[in-house]
Amino acid sequence: MPSQSQCTHLGQIRAVEPKTPQGCEECLATNGWWVHLRLCLECGHVGCCDQSPNKHATKHFHATRHAIMRSFEPGEEWGWCYVDELELTPEELEPRTTPAPRHGTKA
């Protein structure tokens, strides 16, 4: 299905596992707190939202340029592209698979 949002970064989405499923990676390390969690769909980093004091999800984007994140809150299925500033649907958040190039076949 084609993108409804015209995001140009959907190809960066990977099938990731959250690195710290129990919470924001940096807040856990510093005994901080968060409001909501976000999951980087390129590397699996879990960071806190922009309503949290430290805004680690956005800081992760600025440090890595990983453009696509999704909500890591139960029952929420939306995502965001930091570069294009677009909200993404659950369908758009599925990892894209590109077939391997064919090098020819032997008869």
What pLDDT was estimated at residue 89? 96
CA distances from 91 to 4, 9, 64, 88 (A): 9, 14, 24, 8
> What structural domains does the chain harbor?
10-88 (3.30.40.10)
- pLDDT tens for the chain, 107 residues: list them: 444 569 999 999 999 999 999 999 999 999 999 999 999 999 999 999 999 999 999 999 999 999 999 999 999 999 999 999 999 999 999 987 654 344 444 44
What pLDDT was estimated at residue 25? 98
Residues facing 68 on adjacent strands: 81
Residues facing 38 on adjacent strands: 47, 71
3-state secondary structure of 78: coil
pTM: 0.85
